[in-house]
Chain A
Amino acid sequence: MATYSLANERLRALEDIEREIGAILQNAGTVILELSKEKTNERLLDRQAAAFTASVQHVEAELSAQIRYLTQVATGQPHEGSSYSSRKDCQMALKRVDYARLKLSDVARICEQLLEN
């Protein structure tokens, strides 16, 4: 959702980091598996080992950046903002609409009764 981009961008970045950690373990397992074979595919080995190292460094850099950002923006205070007032106003507007609909249905029913009579 574009409207929540700033709020969710960092969370999405953290989710990508989680996936990358899974990929790191996967790469490590592939390298060790490849080493265990009698005939090792050296190219695959090198590629996987390079991917492993790059992923680890990338994860470290990203998490350090996130922690640095949090050090800058975090305060000790709880956030006391809320959207309660506008939510209440919207709720009342919806109640007004429901009430108007109810009254209209009453009028329609009365008109139909009169027409039948």
Chain B
Amino acid sequence: MAQQRALPQSKETLLQSYNKRLKDDVKSIMDNFTEIIKTAKIEDETQVSRATQGEQDNYEMHVRAANIVRAGESLMKLVSDLKQFLILNDFPSVNEAIDQRNQQLRALQEECDRKLIALRDEISIDLYELEEEYYSSSSSLCEANDLPLCEAYWRLDLDTDSADGLSALVLASPEPSAGPLQAAAPAHSHAGGPGAGPTEHA
């Protein structure tokens, strides 16, 4: 599983540089820290005066402390570069993140569509009653020969089911206002009712 693939030269070089930076920074921190501890040791015999030696040790410790901080900063930069490299090149986790995102979005889309379909089914029932009311009222602007939408749907339903007797009965209906009342019985006996008509043709 852990096979070394032939990476492009740039990636190989980059990862080797990361390794080198890590080793150098850790070595720098350890060495400088050790040297500071050693320098802290007070020696009785010094080649120069004690004050001069003290000054020299002070300066050396400052420089080594600065080196430790610089190495720490360099390590932080290395971690930042590794994070960036990971985000861009860690394909397993990128693939998984994309799959999860797709699943979430698909689930949301299915939820929306499911709710819309349920809403459609509910509203078609209410719409049938509204249309009945509208077309049978005086505020309707349609002519006597025009069929109300509900009746038009029934006809389409009956045609697709090829119920000869019922279609003849409906076709023989004289007035549009009586249409919904006469056809109410066959409509309700029809599976799904007129609510299914609009839904089927939606």
Chain B residues with CB under 8 Å of A18's CB are: 76, 79
B97 near A90 (CB under 8 angstroms)?
Answer: no
Mark contacts of B26-51 with chain A using CB atoms, 8 A cut-off: 1 yes-contact digit, 0 otherwise.
10011001001100100000000000
Chain A residues with CB under 8 Å of B102's CB are: 83, 86
B143 within 8 A of A: no
List which B66-116 residues lie within 8 A (CB) of chain A. 68-69, 72, 75-76, 78-79, 82-83, 85-98, 100-102, 104-106, 108-109, 112-113, 115-116
* Least distance between A94 CB and chain B CB atoms (Å): 6
* Size bin of chain A's contact surface: 35 or more
* Least distance between B135 CB and chain A CB atoms (Å): 13
A56 near B108 (CB under 8 angstroms)?
Answer: no
Q: State the total of A-B contacts with C-beta under 8 angstroms.
A: 146
Mark contacts of A3-41 with chain B using CB atoms, 8 A cut-off: 1 yes-contact digit, 0 otherwise.
110110011001001100110110010011001100000
Chain B residues with CB under 8 Å of A36's CB are: 40
A7 near B96 (CB under 8 angstroms)?
Answer: yes
What separation, in Å, do the CA atoms of A62 and B154 have in the docked complex?
73
Chain A residues with CB under 8 Å of B104's CB are: 3
What separation, in Å, do the CA atoms of A60 and B50 have in the docked complex?
39
* Least distance between B90 CB and chain A CB atoms (Å): 6
